[in-house]
A = this chain, B = another copy of it.
Amino acid sequence: MPRYFLTLEYDGSGFCGWQKQANGLAVQAVVETAVERLCRQPRPVQAAGRTDAGVHALGQVAHVDLPKDYGESKVQDALNHHLRPHPVAVLAARRVPADAHARFDAIGRAYLYRIRNRRPPLTLEAGRAWQVPAALDAAAMADAAARLVGRHDFSSFRAAECQAPSPVKTLDRLTVRRTADLVEIEAVARSFLHHQVRNIVGTLILVGKGAWSVADVPAALAAKRRSAAGPTAPAAGLYLTRVDYALTCPSPDAGPACRRAAG
């Protein structure tokens, strides 16, 4: 059966997260229903990352095996048709080798965390950013962020429910950038622990507010205890922006994943 990688964008606000659960509507369920409407049989859809409730995606990737080869364009358009009216869209559909795996073959994941540093509540961005009224020193946050880059035991930033076999991860990139009242934090790694980005953001905010010094952040990391770091930042500010792969693509219309591998 031809395997496809779907690049997905969604507004996570109304969902219980990516993964199907007993209660609540999951993005996975919505995508699987759309796939079933297209090919008239149930097909499981597996994603690169199981985003939590309220977390958004600009470039989630999931794979699915379809009973026949409809063509990339038709798969994209038909799924988008069947996804309506849910706020989930297929940005790209790409044929990939039959053993390509959205989760296990991912060699990089990028997240963006958006903060609006302002006193008034959010209107157009409600549910799409974290509103922080206290003035934030983004330069200090950037300094602290740089201290977390590299290979570390991230136990201090790991949710209790995290199922990863090891707390050791390599954080390839962690940047903080301010544009007017928008503070954006970008995090890139091969993989992340559960709540790792949100726990890092919740800790950097303490530095931004001046409650913590820059040096307190590597100290919290070294403590290897969740209670040593800051609180978990709200889900609404978090976006899974990109998943990278190094695949050999069978399709002549090579997808972004394959172009990246080739480039």
Chain B positions within 8 Å of A56 at CB level = 124
* Contact pattern, A 119-141, Cβ under 8 Å of B = 1, otherwise 0: 11111101010000000000000
Contact yes or no, B121 A80, CB < 8 A:
yes
Kindly report which residue of chain B lies nearest to residue A122, judged by CB atoms: B89
Contact of A126 (CB < 8 Å), options: B11, B77, B80, B90 = B11
Contact yes or no, A9 B124, CB < 8 A:
yes
Contact yes or no, A120 B87, CB < 8 A:
no
Contact yes or no, B11 A77, CB < 8 A:
no
In the complex this chain forms, how many copies of it are found? 2
User: Is A84 interfacial (CB 8 A cutoff)?
Assistant: yes
A41 to chain B, nearest CB (A): 24
Contact yes or no, A128 B124, CB < 8 A:
yes
CB-CB under 8 A for A76 and B119, given A87-B126, A126-B11 = yes
Contact yes or no, B77 A119, CB < 8 A:
yes
Contact of A121 (CB < 8 Å), options: B84, B118, B119, B122 = B84
Chain B positions within 8 Å of A10 at CB level = 123-124
Contact yes or no, B11 A120, CB < 8 A:
no
User: Is A146 interfacial (CB 8 A cutoff)?
Assistant: no
A53 to chain B, nearest CB (A): 16
Contact of A76 (CB < 8 Å), options: B84, B91, B120, B122 = B120
User: Is A88 interfacial (CB 8 A cutoff)?
Assistant: yes
A118 to B124, CA, bound (A): 21
Chain B positions within 8 Å of A76 at CB level = 119-120
Q: Which residues of A95-134 are within 8 A (CB) of B?
A: 118-124, 126, 128
A83 to B121, CA, bound (A): 10
Chain B positions within 8 Å of A90 at CB level = 120
Chain B positions within 8 Å of A91 at CB level = 118, 120
- Pairs across A and B, CB under 8 Å, 9 listed: A10-B123, A11-B126, A80-B119, A80-B120, A83-B121, A88-B123, A89-B123, A90-B120, A91-B118
- Nearest 7 CB-CB pairs, A to B? A89-B120, A87-B123, A11-B124, A11-B123, A89-B123, A9-B123, A10-B123
